[in-house]
Amino acid sequence: MQFLNLEAKILEILKYLNIKNFRLAKEYNEMPVDIAFVEGTPTTREEVLKLLTIRKESKILVALGTCAVTGGVPGLVNMMAKKEAMEVYDGFPPDVPIDPKPLEYYVNVDYNIYGCTFSKDELIELITSLIIGKEYRDKEYSVCVECSLRENNCLLDDGHLCLGPITRGGCKALCPNNGKMCLGCRGPYEDANIKGHIKILQDMGFTKDEIIESLSLFSYEKFKEVISWLKEE
């Protein structure tokens, strides 16, 4: 949907790209395509098959938004016993569910656009790179970088459970700019010192449970190992 929120920009993009398939905005949809943007993550067998078809029928596959990139909030269900999760629908889930995983678990993903909701600026950046043939690179630094460039007061200093130091930058520190701690919606970046940050949070007085809850909100699938390590610590 953020695509439609590009508003003025979308007209410019349409000069270079044709929209062949967009279920939320078009009546007639076709495949194959050059670039497929996939939002969300499969939670049923059918959806997995659909994802495999999309991969086969597209040259470039982009995981769009947190659910697609890290498994996101749906991934939280992997923390609990299946039986417990089924209770949500009175024991009658709409379909036989499977564990929500990041798209990369099923198919090769060419590019990731992070965030919940993902950043429109980064989407434009990717599209621009694809059009002019420039390399698009993931940000390999944390939210703290963009936050301190804006001379913000550190929310960790104020005693908030902020995930800035381990969360991938690129959002221009939207939440900390507005005095809200980083919830980690963009997931961890490759170089994140997660154990180091857990130590900082523990020294600040946060309990294991509080830290685990905060880590799993958006990226349980990515933090799984560190969470089980923390539980045993």
Nearest to 152 by CA among 177, 180, 171, 181: 177
Residue type, 104: E
Residue 148 sits in the site that holds other proteins (CB under 8 A): yes
Residue 32 sits in the site that holds other proteins (CB under 8 A): no
Residue 84 sits in the site that holds other proteins (CB under 8 A): no
Least Å from the CB of residue 222 to other proteins: 17
Nearer residue to other proteins within complex by CB, 115 or 164? 164
Please work out the total of residues on this chain that contact other proteins, with binding judged by CB under 8 A: 39
Please select the residue that binds other proteins; options are 4, 5, 16, 31, rule is CB under 8 A. 16
Specify the 3-state DSSP secondary structure of 33.
strand
Distance CA 139, CA 186 (A): 11
Specify the 3-state DSSP secondary structure of 188.
strand
Tokens of 227: 């969470």
Cis bond upstream, residue 93 (ω within 30): no
Please select the residue that binds other proteins; options are 74, 115, 165, 184, rule is CB under 8 A. 165
φ/ψ (deg, to 5) at 142: -95, 175
Please select the residue that binds other proteins; options are 7, 30, 135, 203, rule is CB under 8 A. 203
Taking CB under 8 A as the binding criterion, the range among 20-28, 47-55, 108-116, 196-204 that sits at the site for other proteins is 196-204
Residue 21 sits in the site that holds other proteins (CB under 8 A): no
Distance CA 195, CA 172 (A): 24
Distance CA 200, CA 210 (A): 13
Residue 142 sits in the site that holds other proteins (CB under 8 A): yes
Please select the residue that binds other proteins; options are 33, 69, 73, 166, rule is CB under 8 A. 166
Least Å from the CB of residue 141 to other proteins: 5
Residue 190 sits in the site that holds other proteins (CB under 8 A): yes
Under 8 Å between Cβ of 211 and 161: yes
Number of other CB atoms surrounding residue 33 within 10 Å: 19
- Which positions touch other proteins (CB under 8 A)? 9, 12-13, 16, 124, 127-128, 131-132, 134, 137, 140-142, 144-145, 148-154, 156-157, 164-166, 189-193, 195-197, 199-200, 203
